Structure 1
Amino acid sequence: MGRKVALSFSGGKDSCLALYYLQQQRIDVCCLLTTVWKESLATVAHDEKRERIMRQAERLGIPIHFVETDFGTYTDDFVFYLNELKWHYGIDGAAFGDIYLEGHREWGEQVAAAASIEAMYPLWSEQRDVSGLLHQFVSLGFHAEVIKADVDKLPDKWVGRRIDGSFVKDIMMYKDVCPMGESGEYHTYVYDGPIFRTESARR
């Protein structure tokens, strides 16, 4: 029997590249799981509109489920939904787009274990190798834009920039910034790439 997993999905480059890796391994990503704040319904960390994430899921051809949560119940809410997805889809794993931060991995393993499923990290790499993931993201034909930036680390004018060769060259100049934004230096929205089944409306 093949693997069936739910993917923690933000709509950004990490989760989209993770989806690509999983599909290349012939792992059945049977659903996406996105956390949104109860008050605003914007996505956690990215502050993206729920409608834009739904549009991505439609173009991916994968069902999406939203976890409405807040700071106090975040972990419990995530575990609850993993158990719901296990019952509904028969998932045996939860995949995450984290790359090298051990604290993030520990949390994912914790919530997966609470739902009696396996945590999977298709992008997991050494910190020194992370620039290769960004180069690969661009070379595979993904198209994304910066939707949020930490102004203490990057210029606010970077919001709206496309993730392309020029972006890769520029961000490598910042020695205290992870090229993939692993510590929240910037967040992205992916609007095209090899994982999408239908064309983007963006030109």
Structure 2
Amino acid sequence: MEMVEQLISRTDAAYQRWLASVTDDVVAGGVVMYCLESLPERNTTYEIGEWLTGYLMIGQEGDRGFFLRCDDGGGPVFRADLGSLGEVDLDVAAPVFEVWLRSGFALPVDPEPNLPPTADVYVGRIPVDGVQLLVQARKLLGVDWRFGDLRGLLAAQPFLAARSAHLYALRRDLEHAPELRPYLLYATDHGLEAVWPTGSPESR
């Protein structure tokens, strides 16, 4: 608790005032903003001190967290996928906490990905011992690969997994399966491209 209190004391002054004004977690449009009592447990559970030293996780929306840098200088509200935490994974959710508070903790709109409607989908780049990942891809894609064939498929990557798949639907499915994002690719005239490109703002 002491460590979290030290971090809070170095956060944005507007955040400190807001935190002192609430007694329970605040839910707004899918975002859960933590009250003082919840902060230690949430930050400990997700090992924020280990992965994002000097940051405090102040809220959460599904599998994404919201963070303030604790450097006595205010600054942006950041967000990142909780499955992959590091400073390189942070993007800005709001320029400062006070602006975000006034918006009712509104979420920034993710840009629409530039995908064709349908394309052949391939599985590739899964580590050779990643059988469990391939099992998850099997379930996500709704294909019926035999379990006895999985190691052979891993050795044959990239391999065709689904013909004329609906890429926007697949991308929506990947929102809830971040561990599979690097491994699902679609065919273009220039080779294979990631369904969830690593350069997209919400990509982790």
Q: Give yes or no for TM over 0.5.
A: no
Highest relative contact order (Cα 8 Å, sep 6+), 1 or 2? 1
Bigger proportion of residues as strand:
2
Taking structure 1 as the reference length, the TM-score comes to 0.27
Larger Cα Rg: Structure 1 or Structure 2? Answer: 2
Taking structure 2 as the reference length, the TM-score comes to 0.27
